[in-house]
Chain A
Amino acid sequence: MLRWLPENISTFGPGIDQLFYLIYYITGVTFVLVTGLLVAFIVIYRHREGRRATYTHGNTALEIAWTIAPALILVMLGLLSKGQWDLIKENPPPSDTQIRVTAKQSNWEILYPGPDGKFETADDYQVDNDLHVPVNKVVRILLRSKDVIHSFFVPQLRLKQDALPGREIIVWFQATKPGRYEIPCAELCGFGHSGMKGALIVHDAADYDNWLKERWPPKETGTAQADSSDAKKG
Chain B
Amino acid sequence: MSQSAAVGTAVPAHHAEHVEESFIRHYVFSTDHKMIGRQFLFLGLFMMVIGGLLAMLVRWELAWPESQVPLTGWIPEPFMYDGHMDPAFYNALFTMHATIMIFFVVMPILVGCFGNFLIPLMIGTRDMAFPVLNMMSFWVAAVSGVIMLAGFFVPGGHAAAGWTSYAPLSAVPTYTGVYWGQNLWCISIIVLGVSSLMGSINYITTIINMRAPGMKLFRLPLTIWALFIVAILLLLALPVLTAALGMLLLDRLAGTSFFQGPGGGEPLLWQHLFWFFGHPEVYILILPAMGIASDILSVFSRKPIFGYHAMAFSMIGIAFLSWIVWGHHMFQSGMNPMLGTSFMISTMVIAVPSAIKTFNWLGTLWGGDIHFTTPMLNALAFVSMFVIGGLSGIYMAATPVDIFIHDTYFIVAHIHYVVFGGSIFGIFAAIYYWFPKMFGRMMNETLGKIHFWPTFIAFNCTFFPMHILGVGGHMRRIYNPLQYNFLVPLQPINVFITISAFCLGLAQIPFVINFFYSLFAGQKAEENPWHANTLEWTAPSPPPHGNFGALPTVYRGPYEYSSPEVPEDYLPQTRRLAGEPVARAH
Chain A interfacial positions (CB closer than 8 Å to B) = 1-2, 4-6, 15-16, 19-20, 23, 26-27, 30-31, 34-35, 37-38, 41-42, 45-48, 51-59, 62-63, 66-67, 70-71, 74-75, 77-78, 80-82, 84-86, 88-90, 105, 147-149, 151, 153, 155-156, 158-167, 169, 181-182, 184-195, 197
Is the CB–CB distance between B368 and A162 below 8 Å?
Answer: no
Is the CB–CB distance between A182 and B303 below 8 Å?
Answer: no
Is the CB–CB distance between B475 and A184 below 8 Å?
Answer: yes
Is the CB–CB distance between A164 and B267 below 8 Å?
Answer: yes
Chain A residues whose CB sits within 8 angstroms of the CB of B301 once the complex forms: 45, 53
Is the CB–CB distance between B169 and A57 below 8 Å?
Answer: no
Is the CB–CB distance between A46 and B334 below 8 Å?
Answer: no
Is the CB–CB distance between A6 and B486 below 8 Å?
Answer: yes
Q: How far is the CB of A121 from chain B (nearest CB, A)?
A: 25
Q: How far is the CB of B170 from chain A (nearest CB, A)?
A: 9
Q: How far is the CB of B348 from chain A (nearest CB, A)?
A: 4
Q: How far is the CB of B98 from chain A (nearest CB, A)?
A: 12
From B183-191, B381-389, B448-456, the one touching the partner chain is B381-389
Chain B residues whose CB sits within 8 angstroms of the CB of A190 once the complex forms: 88, 91, 169, 175-177
Is the CB–CB distance between A74 and B352 below 8 Å?
Answer: yes
Classify chain B's interface size.
35 or more
Given contacts A75-B348, A151-B332, A186-B475, contact A41 B362 (CB under 8 A): yes
Q: How far is the CB of B389 from chain A (nearest CB, A)?
A: 11
Is the CB–CB distance between A5 and B355 below 8 Å?
Answer: no
Q: How far is the CB of A111 from chain B (nearest CB, A)?
A: 19
Q: How far is the CB of B155 from chain A (nearest CB, A)?
A: 16
Residue of A nearest to B483 (CB): A195
Whether, in the assembled complex, B392 has its beta carbon less than 8 Å from a beta carbon of chain A, the answer is yes
- Candidates B172, B340, B356; contact of A89 at CB < 8 Å: B340
Q: How far is the CB of A171 from chain B (nearest CB, A)?
A: 10
Chain B residues whose CB sits within 8 angstroms of the CB of A71 once the complex forms: 349, 352
Chain B residues whose CB sits within 8 angstroms of the CB of A105 once the complex forms: 175
Whether, in the assembled complex, B365 has its beta carbon less than 8 Å from a beta carbon of chain A, the answer is yes
- Candidates A31, A48, A53, A54; contact of B387 at CB < 8 Å: A31
Given contacts A41-B366, A188-B476, 4 further A-B contacts (CB under 8 A): A20-B401, A42-B372, A58-B308, A58-B310
Once bound together, how far apart are the Cα atoms of A19 and B402, in whole Å? 11
Is the CB–CB distance between A191 and B176 below 8 Å?
Answer: yes
Once bound together, how far apart are the Cα atoms of A4 and B166, in whole Å? 30
Chain B residues whose CB sits within 8 angstroms of the CB of A45 once the complex forms: 301, 365-370
Is the CB–CB distance between A165 and B403 below 8 Å?
Answer: no
Whether, in the assembled complex, B581 has its beta carbon less than 8 Å from a beta carbon of chain A, the answer is no
Q: How far is the CB of A159 from chain B (nearest CB, A)?
A: 7
Is the CB–CB distance between B334 and A23 below 8 Å?
Answer: no
Whether, in the assembled complex, B440 has its beta carbon less than 8 Å from a beta carbon of chain A, the answer is no
Is the CB–CB distance between A153 and B400 below 8 Å?
Answer: no
Q: How far is the CB of A18 from chain B (nearest CB, A)?
A: 9
Is the CB–CB distance between B306 and A162 below 8 Å?
Answer: no
Given contacts A52-B569, A58-B310, A58-B363, contact A42 B472 (CB under 8 A): no
Is the CB–CB distance between A23 and B394 below 8 Å?
Answer: yes
Chain B residues whose CB sits within 8 angstroms of the CB of A52 once the complex forms: 302, 369, 562, 569
Q: How far is the CB of B422 from chain A (nearest CB, A)?
A: 15
Chain A residues whose CB sits within 8 angstroms of the CB of B559 once the complex forms: 57
Once bound together, how far apart are the Cα atoms of A31 and B390, in whole Å? 10
Is the CB–CB distance between A88 and B400 below 8 Å?
Answer: yes
Given contacts A4-B468, A31-B388, A166-B261, contact A74 B337 (CB under 8 A): no
Q: How far is the CB of A55 from chain B (nearest CB, A)?
A: 5
Name the residue in A15, A78, A158, A189 with the highest tally of chain B Cβ atoms < 10 Å from its Cβ.
A78
Q: How far is the CB of A86 from chain B (nearest CB, A)?
A: 7
Once bound together, how far apart are the Cα atoms of A167 and B477, in whole Å? 24
- Candidates A42, A63, A155, A160; contact of B356 at CB < 8 Å: A63
Residue of B nearest to A68 (CB): B352
Chain A residues whose CB sits within 8 angstroms of the CB of B359 once the complex forms: 63, 66
Whether, in the assembled complex, B284 has its beta carbon less than 8 Å from a beta carbon of chain A, the answer is no
Is the CB–CB distance between A165 and B362 below 8 Å?
Answer: no
Is the CB–CB distance between B473 and A155 below 8 Å?
Answer: yes
Q: How far is the CB of A69 from chain B (nearest CB, A)?
A: 8
Once bound together, how far apart are the Cα atoms of A54 and B530, in whole Å? 19
Q: How far is the CB of B243 from chain A (nearest CB, A)?
A: 21
Once bound together, how far apart are the Cα atoms of A47 and B459, in whole Å? 27
Given contacts A5-B472, A149-B169, contact A195 B91 (CB under 8 A): no
Is the CB–CB distance between A58 and B306 below 8 Å?
Answer: yes
- Candidates A1, A151, A182; contact of B471 at CB < 8 Å: A1
Is the CB–CB distance between A53 and B561 below 8 Å?
Answer: yes
Chain B residues whose CB sits within 8 angstroms of the CB of A195 once the complex forms: 478-480, 483
Is the CB–CB distance between A86 and B337 below 8 Å?
Answer: yes
- Candidates B308, B483, B485; contact of A57 at CB < 8 Å: B308
Once bound together, how far apart are the Cα atoms of A19 and B338, in whole Å? 19
Is the CB–CB distance between B401 and A16 below 8 Å?
Answer: yes
From B32-40, B131-139, B404-412, B499-507, the one touching the partner chain is B404-412
Whether, in the assembled complex, B260 has its beta carbon less than 8 Å from a beta carbon of chain A, the answer is yes
Chain B residues whose CB sits within 8 angstroms of the CB of A16 once the complex forms: 400-401, 403-404
Chain A residues whose CB sits within 8 angstroms of the CB of B341 once the complex forms: 82, 85-86
Q: How far is the CB of B464 from chain A (nearest CB, A)?
A: 10
Is the CB–CB distance between A148 and B168 below 8 Å?
Answer: yes
A-B contact pairs, 25 of them (CB 8 A): A1-B467, A19-B400, A19-B401, A27-B394, A30-B391, A35-B387, A41-B362, A45-B366, A55-B561, A57-B307, A58-B360, A59-B306, A59-B307, A74-B351, A80-B398, A84-B400, A86-B341, A88-B403, A147-B168, A149-B166, A163-B334, A166-B261, A190-B177, A193-B91, A195-B478
Is the CB–CB distance between B360 and A158 below 8 Å?
Answer: no
Q: How far is the CB of B306 from chain A (nearest CB, A)?
A: 5
Once bound together, how far apart are the Cα atoms of A81 and B396, in whole Å? 11
Is the CB–CB distance between A188 and B344 below 8 Å?
Answer: no
Q: How far is the CB of B339 from chain A (nearest CB, A)?
A: 11
Once bound together, how far apart are the Cα atoms of A152 and B479, in whole Å? 18
Is the CB–CB distance between B395 and A20 below 8 Å?
Answer: yes
Whether, in the assembled complex, B287 has its beta carbon less than 8 Å from a beta carbon of chain A, the answer is no
Chain A residues whose CB sits within 8 angstroms of the CB of B371 once the complex forms: 47
Residue of B nearest to A164 (CB): B334
Is the CB–CB distance between B303 and A54 below 8 Å?
Answer: yes
Once bound together, how far apart are the Cα atoms of A158 and B473, in whole Å? 9
Is the CB–CB distance between A194 and B480 below 8 Å?
Answer: yes
Is the CB–CB distance between B398 and A81 below 8 Å?
Answer: yes
Contact indicator per residue, chain B 150-169, by CB within 8 Å of chain A (1) or not (0):
00000000001110001011
Chain B residues whose CB sits within 8 angstroms of the CB of A193 once the complex forms: 87, 91, 477-479
Whether, in the assembled complex, B235 has its beta carbon less than 8 Å from a beta carbon of chain A, the answer is no
Whether, in the assembled complex, B268 has its beta carbon less than 8 Å from a beta carbon of chain A, the answer is yes
Once bound together, how far apart are the Cα atoms of A221 and B73, in whole Å? 59
Name the residue in B172, B387, B564 with the highest tally of chain A Cβ atoms < 10 Å from its Cβ.
B387
Whether, in the assembled complex, B122 has its beta carbon less than 8 Å from a beta carbon of chain A, the answer is no
Given contacts A19-B398, A63-B356, A161-B332, contact A55 B564 (CB under 8 A): yes
Given contacts A47-B369, A149-B267, A164-B267, contact A194 B479 (CB under 8 A): yes
Whether, in the assembled complex, B262 has its beta carbon less than 8 Å from a beta carbon of chain A, the answer is yes
Whether, in the assembled complex, B333 has its beta carbon less than 8 Å from a beta carbon of chain A, the answer is yes
Once bound together, how far apart are the Cα atoms of A90 and B206, in whole Å? 50
